[in-house]
């Protein structure tokens, strides 16, 4: 497998991520900023994702095999994020997404653009958070244990490479902090692969 065939130019990414970033950076009066101070509770996810960025950079250091790096990235996510039963990639080949490195149960291999959560995220070039997959029209069930899902598109500039997909057995598991953290991680990952002619 290689994402070589993913040459199609698509519009830039992710209003969801933008939304999450805007929310986090919006200016507020000093008193309110104090009231909304970072607590151990609301800072837990950002802290975890910050540590995952450091770990990912260390895993990628000196290695430029795309499949090996994607495999280690999925293993890092699967083993570090709580309540996740599947973490991995689908890469764009022509008009469909094809299964890449992942951790979890065996999954469906090919997903047409626009189908399932992955296909919709890829087609819309947006991060999609699904609190309850059973309420998502056209959701593709690969693992009966999955109840929530987040899908983050990967871009090389404006070119869509594929998606990162995470599943959880816990309804409502993923939120804007996950979207923001995962988008940062995929940005680090793709930046490392730049110049490989993917």
Side-chain half-sphere exposure of 145, counting CA atoms within 13 A: 12
Given the DSSP bridges, would you call strands 159-168 and 148-156 parallel, antiparallel or unpaired? antiparallel
CB of 142 to ligand SME, least distance (A): 4
**Contact indicator for 153, 13 with CB cutoff of 8 Å:** yes
Among 8-16, 60-68, 75-83, 110-118, which window interacts with ligand SME (CB under 6 A)?
A: 110-118
CA distance 68 to 155: 18
**Joined tokens for residue 107:** 């999954």
Distances (CA, A) of 51 to 91, 114, 171: 26, 33, 25
In whole angstroms, the minimum distance from the beta carbon of 126 to ligand SME comes to 14
CB within 8 Å of 79: residues ≥ 6 apart: 103
Assigned token pair, 98:
């094809």
Closer residue to ligand SME, CB minimum distance, 86 or 189:
86
Q: Interface with ligand SME includes 113 (CB under 6 A)?
A: no
| Closer residue to ligand SME in complex, CB, 7/134 | 134
Query: Binders of ligand SME: how many residues, by CB under 6 A?
Result: 15
Site for ligand SME in 147-176 (CB under 6 A): 149, 165, 167
Q: How far is the CB of 193 from ligand SME (least distance, A)?
A: 22
Smaller CB distance to ligand SME: residue 92 or 142?
A: 142
Does residue 140 bind ligand SME (CB under 6 A)? yes
Name the nearest CA neighbour of 153 among 92, 100, 81, 65. 92
Q: How far is the CB of 88 from ligand SME (least distance, A)?
A: 7
Residues forming contacts to ligand SME in the complex (CB under 6 A) are 86, 107-108, 111, 116-119, 139-140, 142, 146, 149, 165, 167
């Amino acid at each position: 497998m290689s994402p070589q065939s993913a040459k199609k130019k698509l519009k830039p990414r992710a209003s969801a991520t933008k939304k999450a970033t805007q929310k986090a950076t919006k200016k507020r009066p000093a008193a309110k900023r104090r009231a909304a101070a970072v607590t151990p509770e609301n800072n837990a996810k950002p802290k975890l994702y910050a540590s995952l960025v450091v770990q990912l950079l260390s895993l990628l250091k000196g290695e430029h095999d795309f499949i090996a790096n994607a495999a280690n990235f999925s293993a890092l996510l699967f083993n570090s994020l709580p309540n996740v039963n599947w973490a991995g990639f689908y890469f764009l080949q022509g008009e469909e997404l094809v299964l890449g490195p992942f951790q979890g149960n065996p999954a469906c291999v090919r997903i047409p653009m626009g189908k399932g959560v992955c296909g919709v995220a890829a087609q819309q070039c947006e991060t999609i958070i699904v609190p309850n997959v059973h309420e998502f029209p056209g959701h593709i069930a690969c693992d009966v244990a999955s109840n929530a899902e987040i899908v983050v598109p990967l871009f090389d500039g404006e070119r869509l490479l594929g998606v990162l997909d995470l599943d959880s057995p816990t309804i409502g598991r993923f939120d804007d902090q996950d979207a923001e953290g995962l988008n940062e991680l995929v940005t680090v990952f793709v930046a490392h692969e730049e110049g490989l002619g993917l």
